[in-house]
Amino acid sequence: MNFILALTVVFFLMFILWLISIPIKNVSIVDAFWGMGFVVVNATYFILESHIYTRNIIILILVSIWGIRLSAYLFKRNYGKPEDFRYQEFRRHYGEDRYWWFSFFQVFILQGSLIMIVSLPLFGIHGETTSNELNSIDYIALLCWCIGFLFESVGDYQLTKFKKNPTNKGAILKTGLWRYTRHPNYFGDATVWFSFGLFSIASGGYWHIVGALAMIYLIINISGVAMLEKSLQKTKPKYKEYVKSTNAFIPWFPKK
């Protein structure tokens, strides 16, 4: 029942976003909602639980910090800019006269469904936790979350600062965390979700980790690393040198 209620809330918010996207002809607004979608789902699970334990509170705090930061970052990055090129391609492909309703299913319902699938560890944590006791897996998960959040937030900050400098136009960021991995922000995001999977295991929610695994797969193979690598290889000739010296995902010292 809690899952159905959370699903209803998310789809209602997606419906509202879809209505907003029609007059402004910009479905990119859904991207900024991605992080907040998990905050909403997690808060719904938290509120609906009859008993609140230490792990529930920890997850409420961690998911809120992660989701609010991500949505704020994406909102600030995308504000005032035209619709993302991916959605523009879809709009041209399907035609302006029908994309307004087609986008409801292709973009908003799809992302709402992904939020519900990926957030399964949160469903497991809140549903399976039955005491205030934390175990060793909880502490390992908390350490993973801290590492992941550090890589994601600092990586985003360093990239934003780099892009703001006009002298860096066309250049490759190779300093800071970007010296050790070509995608520190994606590595951080995946590590954060790995930590939520561990929290779910710690609570006794074993099968729910499929959500965290789905998120990690999406980040590496679909919408994150793979897609960006393909784009950068085409648009930045110097990127190939960077590829030879720096790991794509897991941080490590650069090769000579």
My answer on whether 139 and 125 are in the same domain is no
Q: Give pLDDT, residue 23.
A: 95
Q: Are residues 34 and 126 in the same domain?
A: yes
Same domain, 168 and 113: no
Are 97 and 65 in the same domain? Answer: yes
CA distance 166 to 170: 9
The domain boundary residue, chosen from 76, 108, 132: 132
pLDDT at 125: 98
Q: Record the tokens describing residue 122, joined without a space.
A: 């949160």
pLDDT of residue 121: 98
**Do 144 and 84 have their domain in common?**
no
pTM: 0.94
Separation between Cα atoms, residue 145 and residue 212, nearest integer Å: 13
DSSP 8-state symbol, 254: P
How many Å apart are CA 207 and CA 253, to the nearest integer?
A: 35
The whole domain housing 79 covers 1-132
Both 12 and 111 in a single domain? yes
Considering the domain architecture, whether residues 110 and 141 belong to the same structural domain is answered as no
Q: What is the predicted pLDDT for the residue at 163?
A: 93
Of 99, 132, 165, at which residue does a domain stop? 132
Count of domains forming the chain: 2
How confident is the model at residue 170, as a pLDDT? 83
- Are residues 191 and 146 part of one domain? yes
Supply the angle between the helices 120-128 and 2-24 in degrees, to the nearest 10: 150
Q: Which two tokens stand for residue 159?
A: 């990239």
Residues 185, 111: one domain?
A: no
Q: 40 with 120, same domain? A: yes
15's CB contacts (< 8 A; 6+ apart) are 104, 108
Same domain, yes or no: 5 and 127? yes
| Phi and psi torsions of 173, nearest 5° | -75, 120
d(CA 179, CA 194): 23
Say if residue 13 is in the same domain as residue 105: yes
Residue with the two structure tokens 């499929």 = 210
Which of 83, 99, 132 lies at the terminal end of a domain, its last residue? Answer: 132
Write the CA distances from 81 to 2, 89, 92, 101, 177, integer angstroms.
37, 16, 18, 22, 27
pLDDT along the chain (256 residues), means of 10: 96 98 95 97 96 97 98 94 89 90 95 98 97 97 98 97 92 95 98 98 98 97 90 85 93 91
